[in-house]
């Protein structure tokens, strides 16, 4: 009953235990309920709730105290592994801005590299190069055409009607 008060702990413990009893269609005697509580109250209620939910999903019958304690130890181990991995991942992760800058630099320096869906770069085939050249020529044509149209329509900041 570490950080949670005794009343709150009991209320949460009882609610979780009730869900487990209903899910497993089990009737717990008062004496057996006291034994379960005496053996499990030393663990944080958050852990008890997680373990009871896991028992509802993974165990076919109502669990023995030893099974619940085994689940608690496994959950503790998982939690410690997660806490050990988090700093390692944070140190290894490259910020997204640096990733984008590196990709942009690749595309600027290597003109025949094409971007594919997941951000990887590949060298295009001859057909891809021809298609890229056609698209580039089409872009240049459209760009020049747009400049000509803008030049005809705009004179001194005013738009003239054709």
Q: For residue range 74-105, what is the model confidence (pLDDT) as tens digits?
A: 998 888 777 654 444 334 445 566 656 665 66
Return d(Cα 10, Cα 29) in angstroms, integer: 17
Give yes or no: residues 63 and 74 share one domain.
Answer: yes
Give yes or no: residues 39 and 111 share one domain.
Answer: no
> By C-alpha distance, which of 66, 74, 4 is closest to 40?
66
Give yes or no: residues 58 and 112 share one domain.
Answer: no
Coil, strand, or helix at residue 26?
coil
What is the number of structural domains in the chain? 3
Residue 160 lies in a domain: yes
Coil, strand, or helix at residue 114?
strand
Average confidence (pLDDT) over 14-30: 91
pLDDT at position 92, please?
45
pLDDT at position 3, please?
61
Return d(Cα 2, Cα 44) in angstroms, integer: 6
Give yes or no: residues 86 and 23 share one domain.
Answer: yes
pLDDT at position 90, please?
39
Q: Judge if pTM exceeds 0.85.
A: no
pLDDT at position 80, please?
78
Give yes or no: residues 11 and 71 share one domain.
Answer: yes
> Which of 42, 69, 92 finishes a domain?
92
Give yes or no: residues 83 and 136 share one domain.
Answer: no
Give yes or no: residues 23 and 57 share one domain.
Answer: yes
| Domain, as residue range, for 146 | 124-162
């Amino acid at each position: 009953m570490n950080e949670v008060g005794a009343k709150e702990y009991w209320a949460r413990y009882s609610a979780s235990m009730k869900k487990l009893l209903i899910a497993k269609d089990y009737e717990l005697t008062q004496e057996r309920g006291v034994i379960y509580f005496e053996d499990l109250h030393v663990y944080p209620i958050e852990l008890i709730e997680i373990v009871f939910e896991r028992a509802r999903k993974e165990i076919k019958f109502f669990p023995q105290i030893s099974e619940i304690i085994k689940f608690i130890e496994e959950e503790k181990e998982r939690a410690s592994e997660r806490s050990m991995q988090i700093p390692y991942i944070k140190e290894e992760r490259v910020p997204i801005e640096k990733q984008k800058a590196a990709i942009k630099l690749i595309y600027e320096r290597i003109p025949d590299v094409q971007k594919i869906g997941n951000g990887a770069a590949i060298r295009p085939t001859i057909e891809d190069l021809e298609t890229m050249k056609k698209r580039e020529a089409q872009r240049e044509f459209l760009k020049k055409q747009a400049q000509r149209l803008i030049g005809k329509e705009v004179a001194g900041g005013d738009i003239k009607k054709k």
